[in-house]
Amino acid sequence: MNIVMMILLIAIALSTVLAIVSFWLPQMNPDSEKLSPFECGFDPLGSARLPFSLQFFLVAILFLLFDLEIALLLPLPWGDQLDNPLLTFTWASLVLLLLTLGLVYEWIQGGLEWAE
């Protein structure tokens, strides 16, 4: 058996054991003290369950999406060292085009407007 298969089996077995144990360990009757928010040992000053604006989440998701795009496109300059660099640049251009179209759609729908 090669080492990759052995590591994969160990990882799956360990994940399964930890998932099963995590269902057995918690108590079945949680009390209100354990469900209350914890603020450095002090009683909470206000409600910890305040609603957030939906537009905040949209902007946060867009930030994460474009941050991931940058991470995916960083190795692009090394693509010209491959046998077929045109394929690499084509896929990168397709990703950029798709994300640009998504940003334009979000902009047209008004998802980036803070005040209405």
pLDDT at 41: 64
- The three-state DSSP-derived secondary structure of 25-88 is CCCCCCCHHHHCCCECCECCCCCCCCCCCHHHHHHHHHHHHHHHHHHHHCCHHHHHHCCCHHHH
Top CATH class of 54-109 equals mainly alpha
Greater model confidence, 19 or 78: 19
Half-sphere exposure of residue 71, counting CA atoms within 13 Å on the CB side? 6
pLDDT at 27: 60
- Report, as an integer, the average pLDDT of 13-18: 96
Is residue 116 scored above 60 in pLDDT? no
pTM (whole model) above 0.75 = no
- Give the model's confidence band at 66: pLDDT under 50 very low, under 70 low, under 90 confident, else very high: confident
- Report, as an integer, the average pLDDT of 97-114: 86
pLDDT at 102: 87
- Structure letter (DSSP) for residue 23: H
Is residue 99 scored above 80 in pLDDT? yes
How many Å apart are CA 72 and CA 90, to the nearest integer?
A: 14
**Tens digit of each residue's pLDDT (9 = 90 or more) over 51-65:** 777 778 888 888 888
pLDDT at 7: 94
How many Å apart are CA 95 and CA 48, to the nearest integer?
A: 39
